[in-house]
């Protein structure tokens, strides 16, 4: 079983913020594979299904971002999974919007959700899918930037990026990490950038 955890903050207030792109990517993946994310347990909401021959659990922690590890550890422990069975989808300030990057193990890069998961599991041996959100404007606090509500044009761009991330997860599960890395780790053109 593969556990795919998309990170975000619960509640309508945070739905259209940069920090919630992990939730959005999971929603797109669930729609593509007709997996219903509705079961509430383990401080999460999740859905179970199959992608190819792989059984998957799509998990949205319903703690706040900096406590994501509490929820993820409960899920991993209950299903008898290991950190190597976990894929975490999260926002990344150091990548431009429209860019994805897969990363196996390593540090948290200052991301509170990844730090929480690493500490809770006592391991950094999980795969991350980093979804670029770009840097805040000069003088803006990064914490304010990631929690800022997106305007209509930005929402269209983020939805496009979340869909791209979901497709990369499909390729990862069906064809493996090298194929997903070669096919999706390039920057895409956003709807707002189209002529």
CATH at residue 38: 3.40.50.1470
Q: Report phi then psi at 16, rounded to 5.
A: -110, 55
- What pLDDT, on the 0 to 100 scale, is given for residue 192? 84
Residue 159's alpha-carbon distances to 22, 171, 178, in angstroms, are 11, 19, 25
Q: How many domains does the chain have?
A: 1
Average pLDDT for consecutive 10-residue bins of the chain (195 residues)? 95 92 96 95 96 94 94 96 96 92 85 93 95 91 92 92 95 94 86 76
SS3 content of the chain, % helix, strand, coil (to 5): 45, 25, 35
Cβ 95 vs Cβ 55: under 8 Å:
no
Containing structural domain, residue 152: 2-193
- What pLDDT, on the 0 to 100 scale, is given for residue 72? 97
- What pLDDT, on the 0 to 100 scale, is given for residue 190? 85
Q: Rg of the chain's alpha carbons, rounded to an integer?
A: 15
- What pLDDT, on the 0 to 100 scale, is given for residue 189? 83
Q: What is the pTM of this model?
A: 0.94
- What pLDDT, on the 0 to 100 scale, is given for residue 195? 62
Active site residues: 19
Six-digit token pair at 144? Answer: 């304010």
């Amino acid at each position: 079983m593969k556990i795919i955890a998309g990170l975000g903050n619960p509640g309508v207030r945070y739905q259209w913020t940069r920090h919630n792109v992990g939730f959005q990517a999971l929603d797109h993946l669930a729609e593509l594979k007709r997996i219903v994310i509705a079961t509430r347990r383990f401080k999460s909401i999740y859905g179970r299904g199959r992608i190819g021959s792989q059984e998957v659990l799509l998990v949205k922690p319903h703690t706040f971002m900096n406590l994501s590890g509490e929820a993820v550890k409960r899920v991993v422990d209950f299903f008898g999974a290991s950190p190597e069975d976990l894929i975490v989808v999260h926002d990344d300030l150091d990548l431009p919007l429209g860019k994805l990057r897969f990363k196996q193990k390593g540090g948290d890069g200052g991301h509170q959700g990844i730090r929480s998961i690493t500490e809770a599991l006592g391991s950094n041996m999980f795969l991350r899918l980093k979804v670029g959100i770009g840097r805040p404007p000069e003088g803006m606090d990064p914490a304010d930037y990631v929690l800022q509500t997106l305007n209509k044009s930005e929402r269209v761009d983020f939805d496009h990026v979340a869909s791209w991330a979901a497709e990369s997860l499909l390729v990862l599960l069906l064809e493996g990490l090298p194929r997903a890395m070669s096919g999706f780790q390039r920057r895409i053109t956003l709807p707002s950038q189209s002529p």
